[in-house]
Structures are given as structure tokens and as C-alpha cells.
């Protein structure tokens, strides 16, 4: 174990690996903490500053509302919620359900989507994205040309479809990291 990490064995730990001593962290990691609201996930990843940097950069890129995004931020949050709910990643599910609620200005609808997107009112485009995200999560080998045709019929072009696939795949990756680390959702997420 690194001499800068705290053991993650007690109930107050944010993850199974604990978190590093802040005083020992490089300055750019402190900036990552700040940019990500000092959330538990970035603190848990900071046990390895290089991992935190890579993860933080990809997260910032994928959830940027600026240049380069094909899908709306609400659609990317929808995919994040669907995948995280399918995988049972409480940390990502609660974090992105709140973010989805902010994007669509409807926190109740976002919670319904997280609980069971089949019971939530989804547009045909959202339904196509949700079905695709579920299939990528549950059985990626079964993804076929029919799935891409369904997405095209819902108004997505090939670049949009690739971004939907990227977002779905990235959240499967992310969920596996946070589930395995046992990262606890921040208390602030339960205040809504």
C-alpha cells in the first residue's frame, strides 16, 4: 500500500483503497478535485494520480457542452443513467440521475428513468438510445445492423451512433471501476 493512502477498511472510507493524503498530491490533482466538486470518485481515483488525470480528462471531454459533442448533454446523461442502472453502479446512477434531472429540468422524470426507463415517458429517439445502451451493456456481441437502423430511424446519423456507443461503452468501463473499488456516493447526492 502506498504510504500516502488511507486504508479503506472502515465505514467512513470512500472506497476500498481509501484516499491519498491531500498534502502529498500534485497541484494538478488538487485542481481536478476542485473541477469535480471534491466528489468521492475523483478522490478515490487520486490514489493513482495518473489514473485520476486520464479519467478526469475523458470525463470532462465526454460531458462537455461545447464543441465536438454530437448528442445533447441530456442524451449523454440519459445513456449514463441507463447503463449505470443496468450495471447496479449506485455511485454513477445517483450522480447522473441528478445531472439528467438538471438537463431536462425534471428531477422526478429523471428518477423514473433510473428506476425503470420502460415506465418513464421517453421520446422515440430517447427510447432508441436507451434500448441501444441496454444492449451494449447486456450483450454487446448481439449488436447488429438492425440496431443501427433503429437508431437511424430515430433520427441519429452515423456520427451520433458512434457517440452513443462511445458513451455506453465508457459507462460500462466506469461502472466496473467504481463498483470494484466500492466508491461510496457522496452524502450530498441524497439531499435532493
pLDDT at residue 12 in the model: 78
Percent of the chain whose predicted confidence (pLDDT) is above 70: 93
Q: How far apart are CA 131 and CA 129, in angstroms?
A: 6
- Cβ burial, residue 73 (10 Å; 0-12/13-18/19+): middle
For the segment(s) 73-190, the CATH number from 3.10.129.10, 3.30.565.10, 3.30.40.230, 1.20.1290.10 is 1.20.1290.10
The reported pTM is: 0.92
Q: How far apart are CA 182 and CA 192, in angstroms?
A: 22
Q: At residue 176, does pLDDT exceed 50?
A: yes
pLDDT at residue 192 in the model: 60
Q: At residue 8, does pLDDT exceed 50?
A: no
**Nearest Cα to 49, choosing from 27, 69, 65, 64?**
27
Query: At which residue does the C-alpha cell 437511424 appear?
Result: 152
Taking only the tens place, the pLDDT of each residue in 89-146 is 999 999 999 999 999 999 999 999 999 999 999 999 999 999 999 999 999 999 999 9
Domain boundaries, the chain: 22-62, 73-190
The mean pLDDT value of the chain amounts to 93
**Nearest Cα to 97, choosing from 71, 115, 118?**
115
Q: At residue 52, does pLDDT exceed 80?
A: yes
List, in order, residues 6 or more apart from 55 with CB less than 8 Å away: 42, 45, 174, 177
**Bridge partners of residue 97, in order along the sequence:** none
Report residue 118 as a C-alpha cell.
420502460
Q: At residue 9, does pLDDT exceed 60?
A: no
Q: At residue 7, does pLDDT exceed 50?
A: no
Query: At which residue does the C-alpha cell 469535480 appear?
Result: 36
pLDDT at residue 39 in the model: 95
Amino acid at each position: 500500500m502506498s504510504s500516502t493512502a488511507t486504508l479503506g477498511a472502515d465505514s467512513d472510507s470512500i472506497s476500498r483503497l481509501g484516499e491519498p493524503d491531500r498534502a502529498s498530491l500534485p497541484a494538478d490533482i488538487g485542481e481536478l478535485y476542485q473541477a469535480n466538486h471534491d466528489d468521492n470518485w475523483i478522490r478515490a481515483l487520486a490514489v493513482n494520480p495518473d489514473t485520476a488525470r486520464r479519467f478526469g480528462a475523458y470525463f470532462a471531454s465526454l460531458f462537455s457542452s461545447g464543441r465536438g459533442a454530437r448528442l445533447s448533454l441530456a442524451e449523454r446523461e440519459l445513456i449514463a443513467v441507463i447503463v449505470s442502472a443496468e450495471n447496479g453502479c449506485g455511485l454513477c446512477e445517483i450522480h447522473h440521475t441528478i445531472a439528467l434531472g438538471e438537463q431536462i429540468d425534471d428531477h422526478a422524470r429523471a428518477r423514473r428513468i433510473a428506476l425503470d426507463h420502460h415506465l418513464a415517458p421517453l421520446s422515440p429517439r430517447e427510447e432508441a438510445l436507451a434500448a441501444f445502451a441496454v444492449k451494449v451493456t447486456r450483450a454487446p456481441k448481439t449488436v447488429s445492423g438492425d440496431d443501427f437502423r433503429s437508431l437511424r430511424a430515430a433520427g441519429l446519423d452515423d456520427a451520433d451512433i458512434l457517440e452513443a456507443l462511445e458513451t455506453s461503452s465508457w459507462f460500462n468501463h466506469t461502472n466496473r471501476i467504481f463498483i470494484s473499488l466500492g466508491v461510496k456516493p457522496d452524502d450530498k447526492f441524497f439531499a435532493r
